[in-house]
Amino acid sequence: MFFTVLTIFPEMFDPFWEHGIIRRAIEQKLIWASAINIRNFAEDRHQVTDDRPYGGGSGMVMKPEPLAAAIRDASQTLPGAKTVLLTPQGRMFNQQMARELAACVGLVLVCGRYEGVDERICHDLIDYEISIGDYVLTGGELAAMIIIDAVTRLIPGALGGEDAAEKDSFSDGLLEHAHYTRPRVFEGREVPEVLLSGHHQEIERWRLASSLMRTLLKRPDLLKNRELRDEELEVLKSWGSQIGEILKFHRRKHE
Ligand code: 4GX
């Protein structure tokens, strides 16, 4: 997978390329990544990339000519690549989109600053407009990093450990189960007994129950539009009867 980022602050990406999974993916040639300065494509002597908005008002707009030249150059260098504009007006980024983007041969990520980019750029040269969430950033750079990060970890081999990406949150529409490591007792709180038991089937069932419980309590919206597998229904039903018992006991006590 090729990533080309178009930005007026390419140096922001240096530490990003140089750490952790991203760094290893580059070293292993699973991804090729570069950040290109849009200024390089400005024709004037001062390499200006922004201008005042037609119609007046405060703030600046990114000039179309340098941006168009940068996008065309990147697209020519990466045949088949898709162009992405990071913008609050885009489709909200999620794990499903990360999977779709991971299937592309390359991505050209366009990072706007100021009030945004000239509308004719979005219209003619952009395949996808993506937002990472309903809040306002000072530029598209952090959003581009988030997308590169989420996409890279889905590339086979990027995480090292077997099928780690498939086991993570959202891969099957549930939150991750709780995790514990040594020591067995930390500040008086014990690791759940079953995790020490070595009973792999019981451990899997506990993890499924943990996933379902967390999703139900923290993100019930995730469960609403999702089919439930037989084993998941069983776990939920088992709580159902327990909750029934607790309520019965409670009612008896208060009669
Ligand atoms: N998810 N911003 C982009 C400038 C801009 C505005 C319109 C193009 C079109 C953001 C987000 C985000 C702030 C990045 C405005 N560029 N990007 N910038 N939320 O807030 O992606």
Tell me whether residue 44 is exposed, middle or buried, using C-beta atoms within 10 angstroms of its C-beta: 0 to 12, 13 to 18, 19 or more: exposed
- For residue 112, the CA-to-ligand 1 centroid distance in Å is 6
CA distance 36 to 57: 30
202 contact partners, CB below 8 Å, separation of at least 6: 194
- For residue 22, the CA-to-ligand 1 centroid distance in Å is 23
Nearest residue CA, atom 9 of ligand 1?
116
Determine how β-strand 50-51 pairs with β-strand 61-62. antiparallel
pLDDT at 242 (0 to 100) = 75
Q: Which of 255, 254, 253, 251 is nearest to 243 (CA)?
A: 251
Among 38, 84, 86, say which to mutate for ligand 1: greatest number of ligand atoms within 8 Å of CB. Answer: 86
pLDDT at 56 (0 to 100) = 97
Asked whether the beta carbons of 31 and 25 are under 8 A apart, the reply is: yes
Q: For residue 138, give the ligand 1 atom closest to its CA.
A: 13
- For residue 59, the CA-to-ligand 1 centroid distance in Å is 14
CA distance 224 to 73: 45
Scan for tokens 């309590």, then name that residue: 217
Q: Which of 110, 41, 106, 103 is nearest to 79 (CA)?
A: 106
Q: Which of 44, 110, 100 is nearest to 74 (CA)?
A: 110
> How many beta carbons lie within 10 A of that of residue 116, not counting itself?
19
Q: For residue 140, give the ligand 1 atom closest to its CA.
A: 14
Give the total residue count for the chain.
255
pLDDT at 170 (0 to 100) = 76
Nearest residue CA, atom 6 of ligand 1?
116
The residues lining ligand 1, judged by C-beta closer than 6 Å to any ligand atom, are 85-88, 112, 116-117, 131-133, 135-137, 139-140, 143
Nearest residue CA, atom 14 of ligand 1?
140
pLDDT tens, per residue, the chain with 255 residues: 999 999 999 999 999 999 999 999 999 999 999 999 999 999 999 999 999 999 999 999 999 999 999 999 999 999 999 999 999 999 999 999 999 999 999 999 999 999 999 999 999 999 999 999 999 999 999 999 999 999 999 999 999 976 567 667 677 899 999 999 999 999 999 999 999 999 999 999 999 999 998 998 889 899 888 999 999 988 888 888 776 676 677 678 777
- For residue 88, the CA-to-ligand 1 centroid distance in Å is 5
Name the strand (E) or helix (H) holding 193. Answer: none
pLDDT at 167 (0 to 100) = 62
Nearest residue CA, atom 7 of ligand 1?
116
Q: For residue 136, give the ligand 1 atom closest to its CA.
A: 20
Q: Is the pTM of the predicted complex or chain greater than 0.85?
A: yes
**Residues involved in catalysis:** 88, 115, 153, 168
- For residue 189, the CA-to-ligand 1 centroid distance in Å is 44
CA distance 168 to 213: 16
> How many beta carbons lie within 10 A of that of residue 151, not counting itself?
22
Q: How far is CA 46 from CA 14, 42, 43, 50, 174, in A?
A: 25, 8, 8, 11, 52
Q: For residue 130, give the ligand 1 atom closest to its CA.
A: 21
pLDDT at 163 (0 to 100) = 59
Positive or negative: CA dihedral 185, 189, 195, 196: positive
pLDDT at 254 (0 to 100) = 72
Name the strand (E) or helix (H) holding 71. Answer: helix 64-77
- For residue 9, the CA-to-ligand 1 centroid distance in Å is 15
